[in-house]
Amino acid sequence: MWNIESSLKRTGEKAGCNVHVSPHTAKYTFANDKKQVFLSLKHLITSTEQIMSASMSFLS
């Protein structure tokens, strides 16, 4: 029978990881990683907008 927990266990064993990873832990780890990527992207966009704004002011 296939389920998330057994899949996580097999994947961890293949990776040489002896730590139990529950579906709950995997879900929140994935969500946290996505949140960090989003925040980094948001910072990059904000910085780029600020540079563009300053450049436009300088050129005007």
Tell me the mean pLDDT per 10 residues along the chain, length 60.
Answer: 76 82 77 78 81 75
pTM exceeding 0.85: no
Sign of CA dihedral 37, 38, 42, 48: positive
Predicted local confidence at residue 20, as pLDDT: 78
Predicted local confidence at residue 1, as pLDDT: 47
Q: Which residues of 6-43 are buried (b: 16+ CB within 10 A; e: fewer)?
A: eebeeeeeeeeeeeeeeeeebeeeeeeeeeeeeeeeee
Predicted local confidence at residue 60, as pLDDT: 64
Predicted local confidence at residue 45, as pLDDT: 81
